[in-house]
Amino acid sequence: MSAKGDMFYAWTNVSDIKGECGGAVTSILKYLLESKIVDAVLTVQKGADVFDAEPVVITDPADLVKSAGSLHCGTLLLPKLIKKYLNGAKDMKLAVTCKGCDAKAMYELAKRQQINLDNIVMIGLNCGGSVSPVLARRMITEKYGIDPNDVVKEEIDKGQFIVMTKDGQHKGIKIDELEEEGLGRRKNCQRCETKIPRQTDIVCGNWGVIGEKAGKATFVEICSDKGAMIFDGAVKAGVLATSAPEEKGLEIRDKIENVMIKMGKKNQETQFAAIGEGTDRLKYIMAETGRCIKCYGCIENCPICYCVECSTKKPHLVRPGQVPPDFMFQMIRFAHIADSCVNCGQCTDICPQNIPNSLFMHAQQVELEKMFGHKPGMDMELPVLAFAEEIDERARLNATGSDMIYENVFGEEK
């Protein structure tokens, strides 16, 4: 019997599962579907090419083989899809693969009663980072000298981003070198500190798998009682084989995690320093967001945004039809989200104006964390703003404010 905190090397016993490492994730998902512990699996699979990760809901265990393998250009965030398209898993049981940002978004959506975590099994994936599909294509053309349309597989291994082509070409370049030139992982991934998402039920990766099992097994850490039951069930059902991890492997995994966390913190310092401090930072943000065309992409995709009546659409706060919108548009977003931003990068990825939204929000989140000690996405602790009383400004001023103030704020008579 396994328990929270236990660690294993695990590999599939199912011949047609060709996983990224040992295929443990796909095997566990297969067990969850076949034993009817879940009704469906939400994960990603290759679309038109390796740069095109598409979300997929799988109900037939036979379809899982197509989703095996890691897509490092898969920058999707799955939890908001559960809220938007699967009724927040309120009436179905779901297993979901979760990078660190997915796991953190799960908790933030659950706190806001937008998804039912009791109905969700989170299968975590260690995450060294992901690469924007757009940048990946450019980088492969310009830096690798390879036509991205010829790439059939990509992987991140030993600090390199490696691509393989249909005619057997194989080329890797160090991620550090790529990032010095503004290429490589997404900027939010460079700042990320959630490398092994232990907020999930079971977390899987390749760090720490050494010796004869290197490349052939998945490193599994059990993170909850639910995870322990599922893992034991999968082993008992015969889809998974396991062995104890090597001592040296445990040390290596720990070491890599700590180095990656330190790198994330260092990148935060560098990227935040580049946007200045105090008034200079404010001016910088105002100038950058001055390109905004108010397409609402950042709002639609943010896992923290969920209000039915979005304040950025209230005419007394942000003038309708005004492009670029008043800075109040950005201020409302900062005020509503900054304490809970999980640095998932969706608001930057989606922005047609290339505004580094997640950098601005993450910089504020880190400042708020220093002040209030709240780290979003780690557990069910409520965000700082949960303790602020929400008031209807119009009603308050109607009751207490002078006629003049009311007219100035709302542009109409009281």
Question: Residue numbers of the site for ligand SF4 (CB under 6 A)?
Answer: 99-101, 127, 129-130, 188-189, 192, 194, 292-298, 301-304, 337, 341-347, 350-353, 355, 357-358, 361
The answer to whether residues 243 and 213 touch, using CB atoms and an 8 Å cutoff, is yes
- Cβ proximity to ligand SF4: between 85 and 236 the closer is 85
CA 240, CA 126: separation in Å to the nearest integer? 19
Q: Check binding of 194 to ligand FAD (CB under 6 A).
A: no
In this chain, which stretch among 37-45, 306-314, 317-325, 369-377 interacts with ligand FAD, using CB under 6 A?
37-45
Asked whether the beta carbons of 13 and 27 are under 8 A apart, the reply is yes
Nearer to ligand SF4, 30 or 191 (CB): 191
Per CB under 6 A, the list member of 114, 116, 130, 330 interacting with ligand FAD is 130
The answer to whether residue 242 forms part of the interface with ligand FAD (CB under 6 A) is: no
d(C-alpha 35, C-alpha 247), whole Å: 33
Shortest reach from residue 396's CB to ligand SF4, in Å: 28
Options 2, 31, 42, 43; binder of ligand FAD; rule CB under 6 A = 43
- Binding ligand FAD by CB under 6 A: which of 33, 38, 42, 68? 68
Residue 173, binding choice from ligand FAD, ligand SF4, none, Cβ under 5 to 8 Å by partner class: none
Q: Which of 69, 27, 29, 65 is nearest to 50 (CA)?
A: 69
Q: What is the contact mask toward ligand FAD in residues 206 to 225, using x (rule: CB under 6 A)?
A: xx----------x-------
Contact 358, 188 (CB under 8 A): yes
- For 294, 336, 342, 353, 359, the CA distances from 312, given in Å and listed in that order, are 10, 11, 21, 18, 20
Question: Among the candidate windows 85-93, 107-115, 122-130, 141-149, which touches ligand FAD by CB under 6 A?
Answer: 122-130
Instruction: Give the residue from 85, 89, 99, 86 showing the smallest Cα distance to 131.
Output: 99
Stretch that binds ligand FAD, among 107-115, 135-143, 144-152, 205-213 (CB under 6 A): 205-213
| Binding site partner of 240, from ligand SF4, ligand FAD, none, Cβ cut-off 5-8 A by kind | none
The residue from 45, 116, 340, 348 that contacts ligand FAD (CB under 6 A) is 45
Residues 128, 133, 376, 383: which binds ligand FAD (CB under 6 A)?
Answer: 128
The reply to whether 126 sits near ligand FAD by the rule CB under 6 A is yes
Pair 223, 200: CB distance under 8 Å: yes
Please tell me whether residue 127 binds ligand FAD under the rule CB under 6 A. yes
Q: Which does 293 bind (CB under 5 to 8 A by kind): ligand FAD, ligand SF4, none?
A: ligand SF4
Q: Where along the sequence are the contacts to ligand FAD (CB under 6 A)?
A: 19-26, 43-45, 53, 67-72, 74, 97, 99, 125-128, 130, 156, 204-207, 218
